[in-house]
Amino acid sequence: KQEVTQIPAALSVPEGENLVLNCSFTDSAIYNLQWFRQDPGKGLTSLLLIQSSQREQTSGRLNASLDKSSGRSTLYIAASQPGDSATYLCAVLTNTDKLIFGTGTRLQVFP
Amino acid sequence: GAGVSQSPSNKVTEKGKDVELRCDPISGHTALYWYRQSLGQGLEFLIYFQGNSAPDKSGLPSDRFSAERTGGSVSTLTIQRTQQEDSAVYLCASSLSSGIGYGYTFGSGTRLTVV
């Protein structure tokens, strides 16, 4: 059974810091891995999608890497801003077409 | 449509009543997924559709829950005889297709409160 774990569960940092959020999964048989952001009371916004054959994806200040063999992904946020405050979720798409989510990292960036 | 649309955005219902939640996926997306997020919990898979058929219903919590999809488009999730533990945010997502590694686009969810 696929299990997805995110570390840390919560993070509070001053503005401007570079951050690394971690995601690990137990079964490497995945189609892809996706990072989402969720603001309080809102739905999920897709940030980055990494296919199983890819090593990383970048979008603006965000960079996500994937090491499928070791079951790990990291989301790197450069020069964090208060607007980055949200819960960040990683999810893997299994070969049974099911998206399995981690429990998230709650990020607060203070001015 | 431009995004995944869910209605209603909020629903308060009395215990024992039936509710219907609606999801309108992105036009052309053949795969549609329902998830549930309870307060302080992660996202729980409920069911997914490829076209009008549901290959995986394993996440439905009980036989009070059912879902259907017609015309390969709109889906409804029905909860019969609602219980307080059904209170949660119900999220719908769509994807171009299942099984080929496309990304998901989520709607804003329906917040269900059973009183």
Instruction: Look at residue A110 and tell me whether its pLDDT is greater than 80.
Output: yes
Alpha-carbon gap: B15 to the closest alpha carbon of chain A (Å): 23
Cα angle value B40/B45/B46 (rounded, 5°): 115
Whether residues A44 and B91 touch (CB distance < 8 A) is answered with yes
What's residue B64's pLDDT?
97
Alpha-carbon gap: B105 to the closest alpha carbon of chain A (Å): 7
> d(Cα B109, Cα A43) in Å, to the nearest integer?
6
Alpha-carbon gap: B9 to the closest alpha carbon of chain A (Å): 10
Give the residue ranges of chain B where pLDDT is below 50. none
Q: How far is CA A75 from the centre of its chain?
A: 5
Tell me the average pLDDT of chain A: 94
Nearest to B18 by CA among B90, B66, B75: B66
Q: Does residue B112 sit at the A interface (CB-CB below 8 Å)? A: no
What's residue B55's pLDDT?
84
Higher pLDDT, B46 or A40: B46
Name A62's Cβ contacts closer than 8 Å, sequence gap at least 6.
Answer: A35, A47, A48, A75, A76, A77, A78
Q: What DSSP character marks residue B48?
A: E
Contact A38, A107 (CB under 8 A): no
What's residue B99's pLDDT?
63
| pLDDT tens by residue, A18-39 | 999 999 999 999 989 999 999 9
What's residue A104's pLDDT?
94
**A102: three-class secondary structure by DSSP:** coil
Contact B45, B33 (CB under 8 A): yes
Q: What DSSP character marks residue B8?
A: -
Q: Does residue A68 sit at the B interface (CB-CB below 8 Å)? A: no
Nearest to A34 among B104, B108, B109 (CB): B104
Alpha-carbon distances, residue B94 vs A7, A82, B69 (angstroms): 27, 30, 12
Query: Which of A97, A103, A106 has the most B C-beta neighbours within 10 Å, making it the best mutation to test the interface with B?
Result: A97
What's residue B101's pLDDT?
66
Alpha-carbon gap: B106 to the closest alpha carbon of chain A (Å): 6
- Over range A72-97, report the average pLDDT: 94
What's residue A43's pLDDT?
85
Within 8 A of B50 by CB-CB distance, chain A residues are 97
Whether residues A97 and B109 touch (CB distance < 8 A) is answered with no
- Over range A80-102, report the average pLDDT: 92
